[in-house]
Amino acid sequence: MPLRHIHFVIDDAPPPRLDKALARDVPVDAALSRTRLGRLIADGAVSVAGDVVTDPRARVEAGMEIAIAVEEAQDSHILPEDIALEVVFEDADLIVINKPAGMVVHPAPGTPSGTLVNALLAHCGDDLSGVGGLKRPGIVHRIDKETSGLLVVAKSDAAHHGLAAQFEAHSVERYYRALVYGVPDANDPRLRGIKGTNFEPGNILKITTQLARHKHDRQRQAVLFHGGRHAVTRARTVERFGTPAALAFMECWLETGRTHQIRVHMAHAGHGLVGDPTYGGKRKLAAKALPEAVAEAVRGFERQALHAAVLGFDHPISGEKVRFEASLPADMQDLLALLQAVT
């Protein structure tokens, strides 16, 4: 198998461990993450001063010569497909996509093709330098099939590691737009009685729970208060519709990022998303709150009304702060226009 040879010298005042010293001093254009470097050490691909070293804790000193033999990235088993993508930003390290509703992010047994990954393999081609030894896009976060909006995907191992670390640290800026039933309000006594919900200044709804897979339906997530994974969502009302107010256009942002988090949390608070077949619940519009034609458009909305509108992070290679925005897709814009015309 073809090998790529990387040579460099340990700089002054290195960390005492080999793995940490390599992570600090390996050339940026080598595009090797800490995880990948750890595997290369274990596989005997790293030489220090001419000797193979397989102990990540081995001590190193400034001036030591390092040689790393890296197998060239192999093609992924996933097939590229020529599917149109809306590219918001792209460079040698990453790509930001405005994903349409209806597109699955990664192939799975039920959706082996037609996914974002299939499309990216075709779009990026030889620009993928390799993630984990394979020529594949590095998926560091996902949005649901029927949710539209922004996703960042790594094109190199180093970018994948840097982005994944930011998502793990919850430092990535992520704002969503959603249309929900009802209007969350700090003066609503019902909300004050729901465990895990409270209001912050500015009428900002904060929902804090644990989330885990539902005991009886593995496709769903469930709210827990013991076990599971910590999850925090905040939301504020941007616009309300109906007389009496029956719907709210919300801005939601994540402190954590769990599967279905906004959908589950808003449903837990009694404000399920319009069009959500899984968590939307059976809440109905108040009689005569909206003209019948508009109410029918709300009831007939064919997906959860949720859009990933803002994505901000530190570029994993340059360190530059970057921020991207994506306008609402046509289906949500059209529904909002109908609601605004009668409010």
Which of the 8 DSSP states describes residue 30? G
Q: Is the peptide bond before 244 cis (omega within 30 degrees of 0)?
A: yes
Report CA 129 to chain centroid distance, whole Å.
21
> How far from 253 is each of 173, 207, 264, CA to CA, in Å?
8, 11, 14
Beta pairing, strands 204-213 & 65-71: unpaired
Task: Give every CB contact of residue 226 below 8 A, 6+ residues apart in sequence.
Answer: 210
> How far from 11 is each of 22, 23, 41, 66, CA to CA, in Å?
10, 12, 19, 11
CB 147 within 8 Å of CB 304: yes
Q: Tell me how long the chain is.
A: 343
CB atoms within 10 A of CB 82: 8
332 φ, ψ (degrees, to nearest 5):
-75, -40
CB atoms within 10 A of CB 282: 5
CB 225 within 8 Å of CB 209: yes
| 334 tagged catalytic | no
Residue tagged 């605004």 (tokens): 340
CB 92 within 8 Å of CB 138: no
- The active-site residue out of 93, 144, 157, 276 is 144
Catalytic residues: 144
